[in-house]
Amino acid sequence: MSDLQQRALSAVEERFGDDFLGADSHAGQHWAEVKRDRIVEVLTMLRDELGFDMLTDLTAVDYLDKGERERFAIVYVLYNMAEKGNFRVKAWVPEDDPEIDTASNVWLAAPWAEREVFDMYGITFAGHSDLRRILLPDWYEGHPLRKDYPLEGHGERHDFERYRS
């Protein structure tokens, strides 16, 4: 574990003891898992005190029936310009109330990424000023990257005839 990741992990654990759910790693990469409630505070602290000035990526994973903590995980990939290292934060979002606070006040990069997560997973971001679909048309039904959304059939161009006329 790099020094930066170690410091980031212990800072999150120390400051957010109750909301810190644990740390995990794979292939030498480490991440912190947190509850969704104080995610903005976690991210703000990482930005201001640990120098993670860039939000490299924001995405989600649907762990349907995988026996994980909750169904959805929002993954924040952060990068520290000065120390040249990255770190991930995973916030768990339950299925029955898929909502989490927006990170758009922490990084300018967040709004579009959150719109994409909303578009693909149906997770809403509280406080987002412009939460519309981004890749799919507004009239689209469903959220295709959810695991219970089939690859074929649903959402195919049933309206194709209509537009041709």
Partner 1 sequence: MMSVERPTRTPIEIEEELDGDLGAKRMVVNFGPQHPATHGTLRSVIECEGETVMNMDLEIGYLHSGFEKISEYRLYNQTVTVSDRMNYLSPLCNNVGLSCAIEKLMGVEITPRCRVIRVILYELSRIADHILSVGLQAMDLGAFSVMLWSFIEREKLYDIFEYVTGARLTTSYTRVGGLMRDVPDDFEELCRNFMKSARRTIGEMEGMLNENAIFVERTKGVNCISREDAIGFGITGPLLRACGVPYDLRRDVPYLGYEDYEFAVITEEGGDVWARYRVRVREMYESLKIIDQGLKMLPDGPINATLPEVLIPRKTESNKPKGGMEGLIYHFKAFMHGAGHGVQPEPGEVYLATEAPNGELGYYIVSDGTQKPYRWRVRPPSFYNYQAFPRMCAGEMISDMVAGLSSLNIIAGELDR
* Chain residues that interact with partner 1, rule: CB under 8 A: 26-27, 29, 53-57, 59, 61-62, 66, 75, 77, 81, 84-86, 88, 107-109, 111-113, 116, 120, 130, 132-139, 141, 144-145, 149, 151, 158-159, 162
Q: Which is nearer to partner 1, 16 or 52 (CB)?
A: 52
**Gap between the Cα atoms of 122 and 56, Å rounded:** 21
C-alpha to C-alpha distance for 35 and 45, rounded to whole angstroms:
15
Instruction: Provide the CA 165 distance to its chain's centre, in angstroms.
Output: 40
DSSP 134: S
Min dist CB 147 to partner 1, Å, is: 8
CB of 113 to partner 1, least distance (A): 8
C-alpha 131/C-alpha 4 separation (Å) is: 33
Query: What is the smallest separation between the CB atom of 106 and partner 1, expressed in angstroms?
Result: 9
